Homo-oligomer: A and B are copies of this chain.
Amino acid sequence: MGEMDKTYNDKNLAEEKVSSKEIFKGVLLHVFQDTVKLPNGNETLREYITHNGAVCIIPITDDGKVIMERQFRYPVRKVISEIPAGKLESKEEDPLEAAKRELMEETGYTADTWIDMGWYMGAPAYTDEGVKMFMAKGLKKGDRHLDDDEFLNVYTESLDTLFDLVMKGEIKDGKTIVAVLKAKYMLDNEK
């Protein structure tokens, strides 16, 4: 973690684990309930999910279009617009290798240039999931290889249009908002 260029007085904030209980280990979610000691000595419960982590990719064509996905997200019972993304297969998997795999499997594209866009934590109050973000450029189209039980539609949209949709609040997926806004700044500054 960074935030290095400022000195904080964080000494009064840390919580200590007293005990940890595994609540559920499912096919996706791994849920814990820990008892922790607060800075004032009181004890409380912290419930959270552990996760291998994930990657996401904003793939941008030479003419400024983004390869996007439409995907049904069961928790919200809606099809939403997102950039390509996927889970790490283990905590040790190299995020760049995972990003290349997910981009190829989901969209069929490979990329000549991969640019690190930093980490994204979607909900640090209750999950340790970090999502490593990449921009992919120099795209070449191949065939995608979805799993049999994976369903998503690929479409393209200009980065400028996506930026407008983000600013109007029409795109709500957090990692997609972050990737579009960061990419817009990065590419505008290249001009």
Contact = CB atoms under 8 A, between A and B. Distances in A.
Interface in A174-191: 174-175, 177-178, 181-182, 185-186
A97 interface: no
Contacts of A152: 13
A165 B79 contact: no
Contacts of A81: 3
B5 A174 contact: no
Given A117-B169, A121-B174, A181-B182, A47 B76 contact: no
Contact of A3 (B74, B130, B170): B170
Contacts of A113: none
Contact of A45 (B9, B26, B42, B127): B26
Interface string A87-105: 0000000000000000000
Contacts of A169: 2, 116-119
* Number of copies of chain A assembled together: 2
Interface residues of A, number: 85
A182 B167 contact: yes
Given A24-B31, A181-B182, 18 more contacts: A2-B172, A6-B155, A14-B79, A15-B74, A26-B33, A28-B46, A28-B126, A38-B151, A39-B151, A40-B151, A42-B149, A73-B124, A121-B172, A123-B129, A124-B172, A124-B173, A174-B178, A178-B178
Interface of A: 1-6, 8-10, 12-15, 23-24, 26-29, 31, 33-34, 36, 38-40, 42, 44-50, 70-76, 78-82, 116-130, 148-149, 151-153, 155, 157, 165-175, 177-178, 181-182, 185-186
